[in-house]
Structures are given as structure tokens and as C-alpha cells.
Structure 1
Amino acid sequence: MRGAPESTRVWVEKIMGIPMSIHLISAGDQDAVATEGAIRACFDELHDVDGIFSTYRPDSDINRIRRGELSLADADPRVAFASAACERAAHATGGLFSGYREGWFDPTGWVKGWAVEEASRRHLAPLLTSAVAVGINAGGDLQLFTADGSDRRWHVGIADPHDRGRVLATLDIANGAVATSGTAERGHHILDPRTGAPATGVASATVVSDGLAQADVWATAAVVAGALDHSWIEASASRTGIVVDHEGAVTRWLGSTMIDVCAVSGTREV
């Protein structure tokens, strides 16, 4: 693959209320039928998950459970699976993450990352037998794959939540996931499960992990924890990440090691 000119194809659909785009990078001929089939299968699986877990569609399993029309035992088996996964995430984060919102079962904070990771591993990763790289962008959250033996890297820019035209950092990733959560774009929509009040201290939190389910949970947990609480970082088993507070201070870490805290006026090593 090295030396051949690369070409990029992009497919986009709106799923779960957000644009999801699949990016395929190749350096030669692709089996068009197999490629289109894999892309369609990935999108179809995500549409199917949305039909089960959407809080906006009245016929979803989640809303039918809320109305008392469907029991957890009689719902799609993936609902019970999500419930168990959310319980594990709540335990792992020390209560910083929850599958409930305002008293209702609402696993959407876990479902998107899990669904995108699972669908892309199942349908997109096999395309690497002939492609250089393939990845999916789900409203800014990424699951990325690169072929074995390729020196290509995905260059991922982390935007400044206080100035969307400015890039705070660039990450080079071969295989892995990037999730960002925060209040800069959607306001204080994340609730602290421990108090029920909106989480207000973090403008954005970006977490890099092997898979998007893990990255998404811990990005949410980082927002709830606030800018001064770093105790969760070791438990997250993340590769790296960045938290930006509402004053513009930036906290970075690598593995479980803090790199620095960059305040508006300068940098302090920790």
C-alpha cells in the first residue's frame, strides 16, 4: 500500500439525531460491492440500535418501558445488556456516570459509544484487508482503524471550547477512540448523578481509549468530576486526555500520569 496514491471516500447519514460519517482511505482498487455492503450494514445496525434506545421516538423500547407498556425482561435483549453495562460503568466511575436521568432509565450516554464501536468493529474493520484506514465520526466522537503494517496515522484535532476556530492539541492515532463531552456546545445538559444538579465546571473533556464505549463513559465522568478532581484518571485506564474548564485552564494527562495544568496565564508542571 505504501507508495500508491491515497484516495478518501466519505459516507454520511443522520443517526441518533447527529451526523455520522464513515471515512475510508485506500491506496488501490477496492471491492465496490463489498465496501458498499459493509458501509450499509454499519449504518443499518446503528439505525436499529437507535430504534431501540431513542428517547425521542415514542415506539422505542426505552419509551415503552417508561410508559409501562414493556418490561425489561420482554424488551430487546440489548436493553438488559445496556442496563448491566451502565451499572458497571456507574461502579467503575464511583458514581460519576449513571444510566438513569431524573429517575428514568436512560442509557443513551453509554449506548452511542458502544453502538458505534461495536458496529464499526463488526463491519468497518474487516475492510482493512484492502484499505489503508477506516473510521467513523459520530458527532465528533471517533472510532478509528488502520491496517497492520501501515505507517499512516489519523490526525485528530482537539478544539478549544472557548474558540472553536482554535486547535488546542493534535493527536496522532493509528487505532483507538476519541470521545469529547462538555457544556460548551449543548449547555449544561450533563447532570451530576450524585446530586441531580447540572455539571457546570468543565467546558470540554476529551478522552482517548482503545474503544469508544470506554472513552465516552469517562469523558462524561470527567465533566461531572469537575476540573479540579483528577482522582478518576487512573481508574479510567485511558491513553491520554484533555479537560478544559470554564476559565480556560487545560489539564492534560498521559496514561495515569498528569502532564501539566495550563492556566490562562501560563503552564505549571504537576
Structure 2
Amino acid sequence: MTEFRVRECMGTVISVEIASGGSAALLDEVFAWFDEVDARFSTFKADSEVCRFDRGELGLPDASAELRTVLDRCADLWRETDGYFDGYASGRLDPSGFVKGWSVQVASDRLLAAGAVDHCVNAGGDVRVRGQSPAGRPWRVGIRHPWNASATCHVVSGSDLAIATSGVYERGHHVVDPHTGRPATGLRSVTVVGADLGTADAYATAALAMGTAGVRWLGGIVGYACVVVTDEGRKLSSSALSSVA
């Protein structure tokens, strides 16, 4: 029997659908995890761990294992992206460009370990699917059209995919190019597809920060594919990601 739940958390809408092997108790555990992530990593809550660390009130030796994991991975991603993924791009610590995807990936890993092999976790467009949909077929995930919220510009299908999208269609050109300190322009939407959602999330953010140069950079990443829509409305996609009808 399919288990499904949706609610607001972490500043977005999160839905979890378990096609087999699920239970209400398992959904409770998943959303308890998202509540924990929100309490620990929110940049809008003054008492969150990430805010206390940023203000110098919490030292690294006293930080949680989760915060240390996120800081270490963000440092690696800064190097992997030539500094375009930067948790300090806004002038203060904000690892949100990694944390949302990472938290969904952890939730999916926990569902898999608990025996829920067929599931879809979606946090505001950062999606992790495994196994099969309730219809017994690979999951189909639509990528939002950057000018029409009720339409899709691309559809991908699979049984083990991490899909992260970073775009400017809701908050404008809000992603800062860390090298110039100015909002990046040139790309309207960047979707990255691969095996790890935290990494895909950070790569999408980095490519958006690069502007049009991000298209070529994404093309050189092994193991990840992309769908990009430019400010002029041109759609570019990796050959491995032909849109599913």
C-alpha cells in the first residue's frame, strides 16, 4: 500500500511517497529528520547551530557531527567548482545550496535501509527517486518550466536518480558570483542529475553562479548530466537526458 505525506518544512514543501515497504511510522521518522535539519541549519533562526557557529558562539570541536559533515563537504565542493560554490558567498555562512539536497539524500538512504526500496522524496524540486512508482514503472520527474509554473520544460525517468534544480524564476537573479560579488546572470534554470543529491544541488548552484560559462563546465563533469535554460529561453540538455514523452 502506498504511503504519502506532504507538508511545509525547511522553507519549502516536502513530499514523500513510498510505493512499497512503507508505514506511517516511517514517514514520521523522515519528517522528524527534516525538522532536525531545519532546526540545525536554518539561516533564519537565530538559535540554529549554523547561525551560532557563524557568530563564533560555537566552536568546531563542539559542533554536531552533521554540521562538521556539511562544512567538510562544502569545502570540498568549493575546490571542485573553482570557488563558484561558496557557503560564504553572501558574506555569512549559508550552506543551503548543499544542505537541502543532502538532507533529501540522507532521508532516501534511510528509507532504503529500512526496506522502503520504492520511493520518491521531493523537497521543493530537489528530488530523489528509487525503485519503481506505485504503477510499477520507473518514476517520472518533471522539471519546472522557468517561465510557466504550471508547465514542465523537460521530463526525466529512472529508478535511481538524484535531480536538483537551481533557478531564478522565483527570487530573480539571487545567486551571487563569489568572484565578483554580483548576482550572476545568463542562466534561468539549471538542473543536474546524478547519483548524489547534495552534490547535484551544489553543482546546480555553482553552474548558475558561473552564468553561461556554467554550461561548458557542467559538460565536463563525469557521472552527472544536466538540463539548462538560458535567460534567452534556449534549452540545452545532455544527450543522456532525452526528455521522456
TM-score exceeds 0.5: yes
CA contact (8 A) 1:180 1:205 kept: yes
Match of 1:207 among 192, 195, 198: 192
Question: Which residue does 1:110 correspond to in 2?
Answer: 98
Please say if residues 222 and 243 of structure 1, whose CA atoms lie closer than 8 Å, have aligned partners that are also in contact: no
Residues 194-216 of structure 1, C-alpha deviations (whole Å, 9 max, x = no match): 11111121111111111211210
How far off its partner does 1:232 sit?
A: 1.7
Q: Gapped runs of 5+ residues in structure 2?
A: none
1: CA distance, partners of 2:25 / 2:60: 33
Of 180, 193, 197, the match for 2:178: 193
State the secondary structure of the residue aligned to 1:101. Answer: coil
Give the counterpart letter for 1:51 in structure 2: A
Moved more, 83-92 or 228-237: 228-237
Please list, as runs of the form range in 1=range in 2, the aligned pairs for 1:31-50 lying within 5 A after superposition: 35-50=23-38
Output the CA distance in 1 between the equivalents of 2:189 and 2:214: 14
User: Does residue 20 of structure 1 match 2:5?
Assistant: no
Higher relative contact order, structure no. (Cα contacts within 8 Å, ≥ 6 residues apart):
2
Amino acid at match of 1:205: V
| CA distance in structure 1 between the partners assigned to 2:195 and 2:68 by the alignment | 24
Say if 2:98 is the partner of 1:139.
Answer: no
Give 2:99's aligned amino acid.
Answer: V
Task: Identify the residue that residue 268 of structure 1 maps to in structure 2.
Answer: none
Partner of 1:250: 235
How far 1:153 moved relative to its partner?
A: 0.8
Identity %: 37
CA separation in 2, counterparts of 1:251 and 1:12? 32
- 2: CA distance, partners of 1:48 / 1:108: 14
Separation in 1, partners of 2:36, 2:110? 15
Aligned residue identity for 1:23: E
Superposition deviation, residue 67 in structure 1: 2.8
Tell me how many residue pairs correspond in the alignment: 240
Query: Partner residue of 1:120?
Result: 108
* Cα contact 2:215–2:228 (8 A) shared by 1: no
Change over 3 Å in CA distance of 1:121–1:17 after alignment to 2: same
TM-score (norm. length: structure 1): 0.81
Q: Aligned partner of 2:93: which letter?
A: F
TM-score by length of 2: 0.89
SS in 2 for 1:37: helix
2:47 counterpart of 1:59: yes
Give the match for residue 221 of structure 2.
236
Q: Deviations over 1:165-192 (max 9, x none)?
A: 3322221111111111011112122111
